[in-house]
Amino acid sequence: MSAVVTSTPEPAGLIAALDIGGTKIAGALVDRQGTVLHRVQRLTPAQEPGEAVLLTIHQVLGRLSAVPRWQQVRALGIGCAGPVDIARGTVSPVNIPGWRDFPLVARVAADPAVAGLPVVLGGDGVAMAAGERWRGAARDAVSALCLVVSTGVGAGLVLDGAVHPGPSGNAGHLGHLSVDLDGEPCPCGSRGCLEMLASGTAIARQALRSGWQPAARGGAADAAAVAESARQGDSLALAAYDRAARALAAGIAATATLLDLRLAVVGGGVAQAGELLLAPLRRHLHTYAALPYVHPVEVRRTGLGPDAGLIGAAALTVS
């Protein structure tokens, strides 16, 4: 798999992993069986200058490197919200405006704790695809689409048994596929992007617009609070999840139609809603995946749970 690599990882030892998104920055020590041994997490200061986001990464690495087993680390994998440029080692996440063509690989490699380690960069969706192919729900799949539904929507592809990042590292970047021609402008510069309808941010925004009241979770107005209301039968909350599922179904069906896929794996924070999201997603796929060769698309929840991003970042170094 093509990626930014500073040298070849050794076959033994542990892997350090970073999962960088618009809501959180997580770090972990992962063994060669894909088990998370130690985990650190911080909120992403997404609306602050880029150096503040980098400082949070250094803090996460500082906590990880203080663990005695850090001495066994042989590589660092980074899964980051995209777009990314794996050839140049730069990132421009739509949900982190302070990072535009930010030289993430070089800046992380300069951290004293990382000095001398191979550093591998991938988009968060590609990282998830690598993880699901390595140890997760796509282990038995020849081809699959793996989605990260969180603050944004990312995705990666497994094609003919291998993760396929594309030349830039953004192949499968489903969140910025237009599914609503007259939809809202997206921060990426396009209009009607899937991310504007199906991300956690979009679910909360749609629920609030429809008149939903965030009474649960201390008044929090996020996708998790909408999910709690939906479980209690709130029709507005259920409708917000149904709308997101319908948009995801359209995007999955379009990708499956183009690439002749049979499997979609869904992870990310929003996927923790479980059947609130997946049941309507499967139902809407019956409408959008209409052609006979597309209709058998199976939807699975991530096999790696909430650590899918970290295990995926580690998998980038072994793929």
Q: What are 265-284's pLDDT values in tens digits?
A: 999 989 999 999 999 999 99
The CATH superfamily label for domain 139-302 reads: ATPase, nucleotide binding domain (3.30.420.40)
Please check the confidence at residue 106 and state whether its pLDDT lies above 80: yes
Q: Quick one: how far is CA 223 from the chain centroid?
A: 16
Which residues on neighbouring strands pair with residue 178, listed in sequence order?
A: 193
Asked if the domains at 14-128+308-315 and 139-302 fall in one CATH topology, the answer is yes
Per-residue pLDDT, 319: 64
Angle at 213 between CA 206 and CA 204, to 5 degrees: 30
Please check the confidence at residue 203 and state whether its pLDDT lies above 80: yes
Please check the confidence at residue 130 and state whether its pLDDT lies above 90: yes
Percentage of the chain beyond pLDDT 90 is 86
Please check the confidence at residue 196 and state whether its pLDDT lies above 90: yes
Domain residue ranges of the chain, discontinuous segments joined by + = 14-128+308-315, 139-302
Enter the pTM of the model.
Answer: 0.88
Q: Which CATH number fits domain 14-128+308-315: 3.40.1500.10, 3.30.420.40, 2.60.40.420, 3.20.20.140?
A: 3.30.420.40
For the segment 202-225, the average pLDDT, to the nearest whole number, is: 85
